[in-house]
Structure 1
Amino acid sequence: MTNQFPTQARVVIVGGGIIGCSVAYHLTKLGWTDVVLLEQGQLSGGTTWHAAGLVGQLRSHSNMTSLIKYSTQLYGELEAETGLATGWKNCGSLSVARTADRMTVLKRTAASARAQGVDIDVISPKEAADLWPVMATDDLVGAVWLPGDGKANPTDLTQSLAKGARNGGAKIIERVRVTGISQRNGVACGVETDRGNIAAEIVVNCAGQWARKVGLMCGVSVPLHSAEHMYIVTGRIEGVHPDLPVMRDPDGFIYFKEEVGGLVMGGFEPHAKPWGMNGIPENFEFALLPDDWDQFEILMENALVRVPQLAEAEVKKFYNGPESFTPDNNFLLGEAPELKNFYVGAGFNSMGIASAGGAGRALAEWIVNAAPTMDLWPVDIRRFAPFNNNPRWLHDRVKETLGLHYAMPWPNRELDTARPFRRSPLYDRLAARGACFGSKMG
């Protein structure tokens, strides 16, 4: 009888990536045990499994930083609780500056970190080389060192959270396709699947790249679009050891982490390559896209400047896995304004592993308390309007926002793409006078 497909639950979560499993885990920790999680393929499929697994604590908003600080604490304790390894390693991280402007940004970052209680040191190129001996430093002006950062294995972490959720009473069912969202009088009241319907008080959309499609099933805007994200894994490189910190070179748009004596090297190219314009295939589970060395070229050239040994290193694997990005590079969290009791946790902009612990707890608390327990406005789904879900607009905007990961964060930056989208009645007359335009709500 225990294997019978459920017909009702207090909460149904759609999506078994790291976010869905984190929400399920934290709901059970808050005493809500009647939780069902549905995954169309296998746990950690879709985007989670090919994530690079970097966990950097610092964000521009203090509450976003506190979510990731909680993630690092949880990942450090989870293996002892569940008995399943998470691959968490507190190896620290290093960010380097090639220019005086970037160094100014890193110093501002350090001031912000200290104000938020994050341990950080501003260091010289020589001190950076001592921490990361395989890089060339002759073009660097300085760096910052965050000893509390780290890395994790995304698949192991997801399985560990799932086991913790099961231990707390949640039911996790794989190979179930959600085909519709039931609603009554503007309130979500269950899901329709290829194995039958489940009535529920709360529905949570953690469907990753498919979250926009799930939202459209019930008239909810989930503005995200997939883009290709590429990295390589090398063979062994002399001087690379298991405790090597994560290293970011934002002026070169690149990041590095150690893996089995070699390096993972990826980045965020300035002009991204959107994907999935005709929809995300439902069976795109543990799949990758074709190698694209032309798109990767700018990252590879910069990586060879930073780590000259890469020129001789074996490239064991080229990963090109799509991930979903939002119009402003912040994820989507909270109750949808269009449908009561329908919650969303999606669009993590390549920061899902770092954010998953804290975001899962924050969304679980929001569900249990029927209101957020902290200021989450930077990621609140209500910040977007239905027009932001326009697929052509999303396609053009995401090409730019992915590249902003490592772009210089100049004050009052205006985005260039997908504009003008909405215009005031005075637009033509202002334009004729040579006005400089800014974008507000499109």
Structure 2
Amino acid sequence: MSDFPTSARVVIIGGGAVGASALYHLCKVGWTDCVLLEKNELTAGSTWHAAGNVPTFSSSWSIMNMQRYSAELYRGLGAAVDYPMNYHVTGSVRLGHTKERLQEFQRVVGMGRYQGMDLNILSPGEIRDRYPFLETHDLTGALYDPYDGDIDPAQLTQALAKGARQMGARIERFCPATGARREGDEWVISTPKGDIRCEIVVNAAGYYAREVGKWFGRDLPMMVMSHQYLLFDTIPELESWSKSAGHKLPLLRDVDSSYYLRQEKYGFNLGPYERNCKAHWVSPDDPFPEDFSFQLFPDDLERLEWYIGDAMARVPLLEKAALTKVINGPIPYTPDGNPLIGPMPGVPNAFEACVFTFGICQAGGAGKVLAEWVTEGATEWDMWSCDPRRFTGFEDPDYCVKKGMEVYGHEYAIHFPHHAWPVGRMKKLSPVHDRVAAMGAQFGAYNGWERALWYARPGDDTSEEAQRTWDREGPWFGAVREECLAVRDAAGILDLPGFSRFRLTGAGAADWLSRQITGKVPREGRLGLAYFADAKGRIVTEMSVASLGPDEFWLITAATAQAHDREWLERHMEPGLALTDETEGWATQILTGPASRAILAEVSDADLSRGWLSFQTARIAGAEVVLMRVSFAGELGWEIHSRVADTPRVWDAVIAAGKPRGLRPFGMFALNSLRIEKGYRAWKGDLSTDYTVLQGGLERFIDWSKPDFRGRAALAAEKQAGFAKRFVTLKVEAGDCDPPYMSTIWHEGRVVGETTSGYWGHRVEACLALGMLRADLATPGTRVEVEIFGGRYPAEVLADAPVWDAENARLRG
């Protein structure tokens, strides 16, 4: 009689390093009634051929957290589960060829220090002390990471699996999942050995994740790249040095040339990320295989020729090595290169932990994050960088392939704050896109929607290369200043396609909404800013709420939050309520500045005496619009909401009336400057689950008189006990660069906080930063320092009021 399990609390589909880590971490928190299904042997997918590098380096705060956790876990895993582990913590040297690359390294050093890691910058003269076989004549420096190294991926997976089994979990090898169906409140997973009923299912199927996702009605945004690395034979000089030194060389990454070079026994492992890369399984001539377990693609060394030559010039010792083996295997990619970890959008009790490009170094942290999602419904760190809901469905296969190849070919690229990646663009256009483009707009994509970042003037450099700088005063700077001053002195108009927009209706909608948000529900005809907290009082999202009538509301939120916020609302929806996504049907412009009232008076029939936070239906150029009396720019202004078909004539009428009054189009860079001067927060920067509503300085949006709302108990307890951090605005005496996200704040030689936004305020002629500071220092006048690319710059805590128009007189005018 078979002992195959017929039920489990959780079923994980996929037995690579990530699936095994998810199983291990679920067991660690006491969820041992779990089954992992693997179609072949454990590691049969990308794990078995992975190089096994374990870096902690990342320019993303959340991914650095995840990778740091992995490295810490792996150092003790073998002993914890009594399994032999080949884990070599060799350290790494990451080379820099330019000033901009060293700036990136300096930023990461600061982030790493804040996470408890001692990363260091090496001067060109110090690099050879770490790596004696290196040519350094053209380098600007390097980053040394003592925690980096490499691990045997198969041993890692088996160790995680052993630990999970020891705690009571089941692993079924050679047992492919073949389908999934919903019966009542259960999932039924089909296998050749029988069905398994479960409460929760996890898609950890690696490069098969898209096929598995189809069982749940999901089309995962992913593609598969071919990645090659080369193994070279023993080099006597390297063997002699290594035996004499008593250790291996640190792992070398020449990120500006785009490869890594690792000592493998007494030879080398060379892994390039080439620009002339290759996608697989994307055409009828190259169909997706039914089974690709423990298989590789044919060698394709021609496309690596330049990288091999460059590596040999950098480490001449490599020229003496004989090539012994080429590994060419599939690696899955999402359109932004980050994995999918979290709730499966629109699917109950289903989660994703898949599409890992760097699955070995991220597996440990991913298992922790996935277990938190499953068991707690939230994660310790804000993991929006990996949340499946960051993709919203427009990412068709062609888009995924193009973006995946772009990411692969620029795997080690610097992500500059003003640079817009060019591939896969023009997916979703504003109804006035042609008019905006004709005015000189330089575009960036927000959830696929093309928005103007800034408007180039004659002679401005609009090349992609000019965007690749950390400096404040790039080619956009003068134009953005003019845009901001036009908003201050006359009027500006910002075309803002893609606002996520939901209509909530049904008896009891107001009462339900009141329990979802921390503050008051606005009365009919009024607007309000609403914050949604989780059970711990942390900031989940921010929405504008417009009360359209009894139990009817518009909920308007960020373009990038569309799938996230819709899923959050639907997850908590009650019978009798309906939520309709109206995002595609409407367009929005922000008209703002002291002349905005006069412009609207000429073209609309609206009652423009209505005050701040009101809204009304009106007509412009014969089209019905909704005018909302708000402005994220912090000046007198309105949001003009029009149906897509009507938007061109509305835009034309406003532009014609505004031209003699100094109206000028402005873009997202200007809006960022304007909103920071007002202390307005941005989602997933200043507003995230890394902070509570109280820490975020948002107590004015908490209605303590309400008997119940999500997070109330946690926030009340926090208020009584006092909290460690407070939101502040800083004036920074910065140099050439504004502080990036997660720049550390110092006081008397200690790190006491972090910035969450930073930009130049053109109305106040100063560099400003928003951030979180140790509570006892969050008082006006406190002097601190902000670390920007390795330098510490004086800063002052400002009063708890907007830097621009502190009394909101202009806004309410």
Q: Which moved more, 1:26-35 or 1:131-140?
A: 131-140
Separation of aligned partners in 1, 2:50 and 2:36: 21
- Secondary structure (helix, strand or coil) at the match of 1:400 reads helix
The alignment-based identity, stated in percent, is 40
Q: Is the 8 A contact 1:190 1:203 kept in 2?
A: no
Q: Is the 8 A contact 1:332 1:380 kept in 2?
A: yes
Separation of aligned partners in 2, 1:134 and 1:280: 43
Q: Is the 8 A contact 1:62 1:116 kept in 2?
A: no
**CA offsets per residue over residues 374-427 of structure 1, 9 Å max, x none?**
311111111111222x11111111110112321232223212112211222112
Give the match for residue 255 of structure 2.
250
Q: CA deviation at 1:291?
A: 0.8
- Secondary structure (helix, strand or coil) at the match of 1:178 reads coil
Separation of aligned partners in 2, 1:193 and 1:212: 18
Separation of aligned partners in 2, 1:66 and 1:108: 15
Query: Is 1:260 aligned to 2:265, yes or no?
Result: yes
Separation of aligned partners in 2, 1:307 and 1:398: 30
Query: Is 1:423 aligned to 2:422, yes or no?
Result: no
Q: In the TM superposition, what are the counterparts of 1:390-401 in structure 2 within 5 Å? A: 390-401=396-407
Separation of aligned partners in 2, 1:380 and 1:271: 29
**CA offsets per residue over residues 77-104 of structure 1, 9 Å max, x none?**
1111222222112111111112233222
Change (3 A) 1:188 1:414: farther
- Secondary structure (helix, strand or coil) at the match of 2:156 reads helix
The number of residues matched between the two structures is 438
Separation of aligned partners in 1, 2:433 and 2:37: 48
Which structure is higher in strand share? Answer: 2
Q: CA deviation at 1:42?
A: 0.9
Q: In the TM superposition, what are the counterparts of 1:30-41 in structure 2 within 5 Å? A: 30-41=29-40
Give the match for residue 336 of structure 2.
328
Q: In the TM superposition, what are the counterparts of 1:171-210 in structure 2 within 5 Å? A: 171-184=170-183, 189-210=187-208
Larger gyration radius, structure 1 or structure 2:
2
What TM-score does the superposition give when structure 2 sets the normalisation length?
0.52
Q: CA deviation at 1:435?
A: 2.7
Q: Which moved more, 1:136-145 or 1:247-256?
A: 136-145
Q: Which moved more, 1:12-21 or 1:338-347?
A: 338-347
Give the match for residue 360 of structure 1.
367
- Secondary structure (helix, strand or coil) at the match of 1:119 reads coil
Q: Is the 8 A contact 1:188 1:342 kept in 2?
A: no
Q: CA deviation at 1:208?
A: 0.2
Give the match for residue 301 of structure 1.
309
Q: CA deviation at 1:253?
A: 0.2
Q: Is the 8 A contact 2:238 2:267 kept in 1?
A: no
Query: Is 1:340 aligned to 2:338, yes or no?
Result: no
Q: Which moved more, 1:33-42 or 1:140-149?
A: 140-149
Give the match for residue 47 of structure 1.
46
Q: CA deviation at 1:428?
A: 2.5
Give the match for residue 420 of structure 2.
414
Q: CA deviation at 1:271?
A: 4.0
Q: CA deviation at 1:190?
A: 2.6
Q: CA deviation at 1:287?
A: 0.8
Q: Is the 8 A contact 1:271 1:400 kept in 2?
A: no
Separation of aligned partners in 1, 2:40 and 2:310: 37
**CA offsets per residue over residues 289-342 of structure 1, 9 Å max, x none?**
111112212321221221112223100111111100111121110011220111
- 1:105 alignment partner AA: E
Q: Is the 8 A contact 1:333 1:379 kept in 2?
A: yes
- Secondary structure (helix, strand or coil) at the match of 2:139 reads coil
Q: Is the 8 A contact 2:268 2:318 kept in 1?
A: no
- Long gaps (5+) in structure 2: 449-813
Q: 1:290 aligns with which of 286, 298, 318?
A: 298
- Secondary structure (helix, strand or coil) at the match of 1:54 reads coil
- Secondary structure (helix, strand or coil) at the match of 2:216 reads coil
Give the match for residue 100 of structure 1.
99
Give the match for residue 220 of structure 2.
222
Q: CA deviation at 1:432?
A: 3.7
What TM-score does the superposition give when structure 1 sets the normalisation length?
0.95
Q: Is the 8 A contact 2:62 2:385 kept in 1?
A: no
Q: 1:377 aligns with which of 384, 387, 390?
A: 384
Q: CA deviation at 1:265?
A: 0.6
Separation of aligned partners in 2, 1:118 and 1:58: 10
Q: 1:405 aligns with which of 406, 411, 416?
A: 411
**CA offsets per residue over residues 330-356 of structure 1, 9 Å max, x none?**
11100112201110001112x111111
Q: CA deviation at 1:283?
A: 2.0
Separation of aligned partners in 2, 1:209 and 1:414: 28
Give the match for residue 280 of structure 1.
288
Separation of aligned partners in 2, 1:412 and 1:301: 33
- Secondary structure (helix, strand or coil) at the match of 2:198 reads strand
- 1:252 alignment partner AA: S
Q: Is the 8 A contact 1:11 1:200 kept in 2?
A: yes
- Secondary structure (helix, strand or coil) at the match of 2:213 reads helix
- Secondary structure (helix, strand or coil) at the match of 1:55 reads coil
Q: Which moved more, 1:241-250 or 1:17-26?
A: 241-250
- 2:312 alignment partner AA: L
Give the match for residue 85 of structure 2.
86
- 1:141 alignment partner AA: T
Give the match for residue 108 of structure 2.
109
Separation of aligned partners in 1, 2:419 and 2:47: 31
- 2:148 alignment partner AA: D
- 1:274 alignment partner AA: A
Query: Is 1:59 aligned to 2:66, yes or no?
Result: no
Q: Is the 8 A contact 1:226 1:274 kept in 2?
A: yes
Q: CA deviation at 1:30?
A: 1.0
Separation of aligned partners in 2, 1:118 and 1:81: 23
Q: Which moved more, 1:231-240 or 1:254-263?
A: 231-240
Root-mean-square deviation over aligned CA pairs: 1.7
Q: CA deviation at 1:184?
A: 4.1
Separation of aligned partners in 1, 2:278 and 2:435: 35
- Secondary structure (helix, strand or coil) at the match of 1:320 reads strand
